[in-house]
Amino acid sequence: YKLISKIDELDQWIKEAEENGELAIDTETTSLDPHQADLVGISMSTKIGKACYIPISHSSGNCLDKKKVINKLKPLLEDKSVKKIGQNIKFDYIIFYHQGINLNSLEDTMLISYVLDAGKNRHNMDTLSEIHLAHKPISFKDIVGTGKKQINFKDVDIPKALEYAAEDADITFRLYKILKGNLNREKLTNIYEIFEKPLIKILANMEIEGIKVDDKFLNILSKKFEKKIKDLEKKIFKISKKEFNIASTKQLGEIMYNELKISTLKKTKKGSFATSASVLEDLAFKGNELPKLILEWRQISKLKNTYSDSLQEHINPNTKRVHTSFLLAATTTGRLASSDPNLQNIPIKTEDGKEIRKSFVAEKGKILISADYNQIEMRILADLADVKELKKAFKNNQDIHSLTASQIFNCDIKKINSDMRRKAKAINFGIIYGISQYGLAKQIMVTNDEAQDFLKSYFLKFPEIKDYMDKTIKFCRKSGFVSNIFGRRSHITGINDKNFNVRNFQERAAINAPIQGSAADIIKRAMIKIQQKIENDNMQSKMILQIHDELIFEVPSDETQAMENLIIENMENATEPLINFSVPLKVDIKVSKSWG
């Protein structure tokens, strides 16, 4: 591993990378937030066992001039004929973007591993190195320390940084060679090339763009939530006849079980009072007021702490926007996740959750377009299980929940009331997630026996769904994985576990993964197609958020109509020409100044 101490020494490395047509690259920075991080150094590897480190802004030792390094590397890093291999290269893409470099021809070892082994293991470099190279790399903690003694990477001595950073680039290069071969052998190259690789740049640019958040509105919201919390506390203390720390499970358990005796004593495996959401929901379902108020208190407190308070802290001081990070390899199914802040689980069903969404706004002269797939998972289930009745209903644009209600309650669709439809909807969505009779009973507030009867008549009316579930579980038991409509695999490791609960949970995951995974890949395809069209047509519109089945765009007012047409066209035809999808996809579009 070589330390680059003079700018001209880079020439030989650049020449070698150009001749080989590939190099592994890694950046060392002052922060894990790529939008606010400074570049400390760059490491490169051009062949197995050979790597270098370019120190740029360490606080001591001989560093090279950043501008000169960037100017020298820019032509190589932007050259489309040379592959840039990274481990989570989206991070490095953003770092280089802020240095004026547009990184091209990206390859990512994390994503190749994800396509091969989702659900089997984690996809961080240290884990992959131990699995595929039987080598334990120098860890980040070894270099910077932990806790109060942790230092910033810029304060690491250059010889130590060389050893650590060059090894990272070398390992990334070695992993690429092994994993790419595995990808071909397992015939999964298409999943990586079609769904994962093109998304790296798209998501990086969405993160760079961010979304505008109205901090004044959030401030007002926080005060409103604060008042609600205080009112709920008064009601809770009135029932408990004394004040206590509601957030303390010990004190809450004491009140519920020992003082008010709401229920017979329930304890967790570790012996503490059982006060989880599901326990409180059970007790509230039986008509107890206190657990109902506690659940409400928890929900409002969470909205205040997680969103109305903390979103204000996430507003970037330079851009005045919030930049979430999209996680490409965090789920078993292919679904994207979001963090710092997580924008994917703002509750949508409650009025308070909708209030949070109102704080996400468009810039002056622009509007937000939200495009949401209509019942996509039900449509996928209809296709996967070849459910004749459901397919017919989707083709005729019928209301699927009313149809289900008419089937299980055995009555004319015109006579279905809102309560019957609500129950049918709970069953439809419950089926996708492998709901049990007990889970259904609680959700639609009926007895276990009634719930069992509903499920029975559901499977009688839609036998293909039961057939799909049985076949999927049988296949998964044998192979250890399930595939979605495009062939992406989700590994379900505990499906043959001796423990009934583990096995049961994994069976439900096996039923759901092909459905959720297909939905995830359909929207990924749509994102890729839409972005290509925006670029080809030189539009100013930007895709800024993906929330599972929904895409959010920030659009100049004069592009509104063109964008609506473009979005619908590409989302509704996302599966073409890859597969023949037998159910029409439908998209609901909404346009406004705010996401709420």
pLDDT, tens digit, for every residue of 410-436?
A: 899 999 999 999 999 999 999 888 888
pLDDT in the model for residue 348: 79
The pTM score is: 0.93
Mean pLDDT, consecutive 10-residue stretches, the chain (596 aa), reads 97 97 98 94 97 97 96 98 98 98 98 97 97 97 94 96 98 98 97 98 98 95 96 94 91 88 79 84 84 93 92 92 96 95 84 91 97 96 95 94 92 92 91 86 87 92 95 97 98 95 94 97 98 98 96 97 98 97 97 95
When the pLDDT of each residue in the chain is averaged and rounded to a whole number, the result is: 94
Query: Strand, coil or helix: what is 263?
Result: coil
Quick one: residue 261, left, alpha or beta (phi over 0 = left, psi -120 to 50 = alpha)? left
What would the DSSP string read from start to end of 373-395?
A: ESSHHHHHHHHHTT-HHHHHHHH
SS3 of 557, please?
Answer: helix
* Cα–Cα separations (whole angstroms), residue 184 to 174, 240, 328: 16, 64, 21
Residue type, 235: K
The dihedral region occupied by 21, where left means phi > 0, alpha psi between -120 and 50, and beta the remainder, is: left
Q: What tokens were used for 524? A: 């990924």
138: which DSSP letter?
Answer: P
pLDDT at 434: 82
> Residues 197, 199, 205, 207: is their CA dihedral positive or negative?
negative
Q: What value does the CA radius of gyration of the chain take, rounded to a whole number of Å?
A: 27
Helix locations, 63-192, DSSP H? 66-78, 89-97, 109-117, 125-133, 140-144, 158-185, 189-191
Separation of alpha carbons 162 and 578, rounded Å: 45
The candidate with the shortest Cα–Cα distance to 553, out of 568, 542, 564, is 542
If you ran DSSP here, which 8-state letter would residue 305 be given? I
Q: 143 near 160, Cβ under 8 Å?
A: yes
Tell me the backbone φ, ψ of residue 84, rounded to 5 degrees: -105, 115
For 517, what's the count of Cα atoms within 13 Å in the CB-facing half-sphere?
Answer: 28
Element (H, E) at 571: helix 560-572
Determine whether 405 is exposed, middle or buried from the number of CB atoms within 10 Å of its CB (0-12, 13-18, 19+): buried
